Amino acid sequence: MKWEHLYVYFCSINIAVTIDIFIRTGNNTVEVDPLTKETSTELENDLLILLGLDSIPKTRTPGSIISGSDFMVEAYKKLANEQKINQFHGDDNTVYRPTDKSISMYRILDWKVLENSDLIVDTPNTVKLNYNTTRRGMSQLYMFHISNVPAGLRLTKCELRVYRNWLDLTRGEYMIVSVHQVVKVKDKAGILRKQLKFLSDVVLGSNDRGWIVFDVKLAVLDWLLHHNSNYGIKLSVKSAKWDKDTIDIVPTKTKLDSEIAGFVGSEGPADRQPFIISYFVDDDVEGSKQMKLKRVRRSARRSTHNVPREDISNWSTDRHQRYSQNSVCQLKSLYVSFADLQWDEWIIAPPGFMSNYCAGKCVFPIELRMNATNHAVIQTLYDTTFPDKLPPTQCAPSELAPINVLYYDDKNNVVLQKYKNMVVRWCGCH
């Protein structure tokens, strides 16, 4: 449903109370007549469609594993700060300052991936027991319930993040940490048996600690295509040494206990639990293209071409007497509150957003601040000579901006999604 239809709901219903909508113009705030229950329900459904959701997620409370959600909140704040839009308070321009659990602690390796993603999903580890039953060389097994993603989204990057504590190891000691996808393959007898499929590895020194990042894109792609193929990811550790002959760090035959090596599993603190972050982009180029029209600057002489000066002067004076400054085409504030919809139980941030709208007349001579197209100038000029021959020039958005919404899905995963063309930034005559 188009935003214009939503504006009709906001502004034209004069019956009883369910949701209060506020329109703010300048320093004044005007409370528009509340919506009926029927209309507010329809509005909720339309907003869900705009958000790409079939229904309100059933999960409404945060899970016990908070490491991934901490990361997502910090990513959300960082994006809001970079976009110079504070998503927590509509027109508050407070600059975000990282907390002690800031994004730098999570070692974001590629900021551009975060910035260019349309959908980011946090998936926590669900395994309760960390280790194999083998006595030596114990590895950690992780399980992740990967959510379905909307059609048209493409997975660009997928990271497994595992926390490693600081350990007092011998200086110069190395280790190679590997992650494998657990798969099932039929043997010669046709029996399905578990095997390990290599995904990625990292070399760590004795002093390396914090969030260690592994590329697990191939595993997640497999799980998205074949839901029954998800048997988890296994992390294993081998000691390593510097080989002066190959001038490289090479593994030894010694396997290390992953816990002794400092890796935190499901029995560790809630804010250091393993999690997967998946990044998606929207390949629907036409649908996601942000409408942005160039602002055209014109001189008074160019705007009045081919119209007698005395006629324009008289017409302009008369027209400006009829239309006040508040009635010409301009941007007006419109705040949509998720709290009023009672969506704050599953939407983490923002509490709402400034949707805004365009209103007013497009009158000749068109002023610079009306941000008009060349065609609009010609159309309004023609209307001065031949009234009622053409439809009136419309005041409409000329630049739209996205919003970022952080919320819980049905599987208690934390989702950060970018919704394009949700905020009117500029208005113009078209």
pTM beyond 0.95: the answer is no
> What are the beta bridge partners of residue 292?
399
Q: What is the pLDDT of residue 239?
A: 80
Which residue type occupies 334? Answer: L
CB 48 within 8 Å of CB 54: yes
Q: What is the pLDDT of residue 31?
A: 46
Q: What is the pLDDT of residue 373?
A: 58
CA–CA gap between residue 4 and residue 70 (Å, rounded): 36
Pairing of strands 395-408, 414-429: antiparallel
Q: What is the pLDDT of residue 233?
A: 93
Residue 376: burial class (beta carbons within 10 Å; 0-12, 13-18, 19+):
buried
Which residue type occupies 367? Answer: E
pLDDT tens-place values along the chain, 430 residues long: 444 334 333 333 332 333 444 444 444 444 444 556 666 677 777 777 777 777 787 765 555 567 888 888 888 888 877 665 443 444 444 333 444 444 444 555 567 788 888 999 998 888 765 444 444 447 788 888 887 777 788 999 999 999 988 776 555 578 889 999 999 888 888 888 889 999 999 888 877 888 899 999 999 999 998 888 889 999 988 888 777 766 677 777 778 888 878 888 877 888 888 999 999 998 765 444 333 323 333 333 333 333 333 343 333 334 444 445 567 788 888 888 888 877 878 888 888 888 888 888 776 555 555 555 555 555 555 555 556 666 667 788 888 888 888 988 877 788 898 888 888 888 888 7
Pairing of strands 357-359, 330-337: antiparallel
> What are the beta bridge partners of residue 182?
196
Number of residues that this document lists for the chain: 430
User: Which regions of the chain carry the CATH code 2.10.90.10?
Assistant: 3-53+290-411+419-429
CATH architecture for residues 3-53+290-411+419-429:
Ribbon (2.10)
